[in-house]
Amino acid sequence: MVEGRAKIVLTRRWPHVVEERMAQLGELVRNDADRPLSSRELREALTTADVVCPTVTDDLSSGMFARGDVRVQLLANFGVGFNHIDLAAASACRIQVSNTPGVLTDATAELALTLMLMSARRAGEGERLVRAGAWEGWYPTHMLSTQVTGKTVGIVGMGRIGTAFARKAFHGLGMRILYCNRTGVDQSISLELEAERVAFKDLLERADFVSLHCPATAQTRHMMDERAFRLMQPHAHLINTARGDVLDEPALVNALVQGQIAGAGVDVYEREPELAAGLAQLEQVVVLPHMGSGTTETREAMGMCAVANVQAFLAGEALPNPVLP
């Protein structure tokens, strides 16, 4: 329990309407410069505030909690992914952790669809051509690309976002859905989408498009590695809107350069904002700056979700979205 008015730190600026709402819950400290906090600044937040609201740009690894002097009791994460927080270390300090599931499902699935279409249809390449003033007009063999409608997509991780992406691909583009997942999906979903659960290896071998939607864990780290790319078809494309750690980026660059796969659409990277050497120079890659959840509607909903968790915590109630209750 927090005695008196709670001190709440937001590590980055949030949409205005959400900051205003959060300010009603306690003494709000904002990061007006809106750049990632240094380790020293993050430590200061953990040791002086009751609630810290981090994001994916905050490295909350075990060392941040090691000295046992933290004051923070709740980490209300702005985002669904929490691989930047060492949960064991937070738990050892009796810190509760919440996230924002559900509200960014459609926005992220939309971006995966965008990347799949852009990669297949060479949209990034075409736009660069026009902007460079190098387009010489229409002709029958110009910039031929790959049709997406009716093709097979393999979905790695059939949780909320993977399922929403599958729905858009199946109902919107008539795609055949393969998926692999630790557990099966609800029968109503597999019936609706005529989805076939397959082993990871089969999915790589059979899919025209492979889209990653699994969380970043020790088990999924670099699951798309050299070996995985060798199993994909030469005309296939890889899409990653999950987490950078799931993909071995130098292996992706190599697979593209060697022609083991045809293209890729990537939104998340292992060392954001840095990209693996050579990735951004490849014409057959669409690279976006981690914008899967980046619609106004969704970022406001994510903020409101964090607000609801802070509010419940301050009232001594169960968190609506507990990662560590």
Active site residues: 243, 272, 290
The Cβ of residue 242 has, within 10 Å, a number of other Cβ atoms equal to 27
Q: Is residue 265 within the footprint of ligand DGY (CB under 6 A)?
A: no
Smallest gap from Cβ 272 to ligand DGY, in A, equals 10
Selected range binding ligand DGY among 74-82, 89-97, 138-146, 247-255, rule: CB under 6 A: 74-82
CB of 124 to ligand DGY, least distance (A): 21
CA distances from 108 to 33, 49, 103, 169 (A): 27, 31, 10, 13
Q: Closer CB to ligand DGY, residue 56 or residue 246?
A: 56
Q: Applying CB under 6 A, does 79 fall inside the site for ligand DGY?
A: yes
The kind and range of the H/E element at 239 are strand 237-240
Q: How far apart are CA 171 and CA 176, in angstroms?
A: 10
Q: Could you say whether residue 220 binds ligand DGY (CB under 6 A)?
A: no
Burial 257-269 (b: 16+ CB within 10 A, else e): eeebbbbbbbbbb
State the Cα–Cα distance between residues 143 and 148, nearest whole angstrom.
15
Strands 96-98, 322-324: pairing kind = antiparallel
Kindly indicate which of the ranges 13-21, 75-83, 89-97, 272-280 contains the residues binding ligand DGY, using the contact rule CB under 6 A: 75-83
Q: Which of residues 10, 46, 56, 279 is near ligand DGY by CB under 6 A?
A: 56
Residue 162 contacts ligand DGY per CB under 6 A: no
Q: Binding marks (x or -) toward ligand DGY, 80..109, rule CB under 6 A?
A: xx----------------------x-----
What are the beta bridge partners of residue 265? 239, 286
CA dist., res. 320 & res. 305, Å (int): 9
Of residues 142-161, those binding ligand DGY (CB under 6 A)? none
- Which residues are near ligand DGY by CB under 6 A? 55-56, 79-81, 104, 292-293
